[in-house]
Amino acid sequence: MTLNELNTLDNTSAYTWFEQCCAAPQWIQQMVAARPYYTLVELRAAAELAWSKCSESDFIEAFKAHPMIGDVDSLRKKFANTKTIAAGEQSGTAAASEQVLQQLKSANHAYLNTHGFIFIICATGLSAEQMLTELEKRLPNTTEQEIQNAGAEQIKITLLRLNKALAIN
């Protein structure tokens, strides 16, 4: 996909294209409406601005589209439309020991039970151990703090996915 192709998609197709990058409907609608984009810098700035205008419920919708880190079944089932551009985002778990994977699973469930949504982190380039350390560090935070933390991580993920989606031909 090129920016020119993105700009000429009908609204329904553009919605679907943006949805692979972030599942928050309000964010997607803003991105579709803000077209045309002439540079990647402009697209990224629009993505950040649209995200900053999203509500807590939009954040939660975006979080729901993510698989739980390290949960292979969840990875397979969640939002097949992100499969291509989300590939490799959790590759740090591939080399993890069984013990670390079990700790991640346990801590992830504790996080979900505490905050009501899964742990969100921009996992690209992080080892399973690094993700576990960050999860354990953030687990005691308030849910309000975690919505903000996860929201900050979500926009990082979204920007990476936008870059990847534009690179895929």
% of the chain with per-residue pLDDT over 70: 83
Vertex 53: Cα angle to 33 and 142 (nearest 5): 145
Residues 5-54 pLDDT 10s: 999 999 999 999 999 999 999 999 999 999 999 999 999 999 999 999 99
Residues 106-121 pLDDT 10s: 999 999 999 999 999 9
Give mean pLDDT, residues 69-90. Answer: 48
Please provide the average confidence, as pLDDT, over all residues in the chain: 87
pLDDT of residue 32: 98
Q: How far apart are CA 117 and CA 119, in angstroms?
A: 7
The whole-model pTM stands at 0.84
DSSP state, residue 39: S
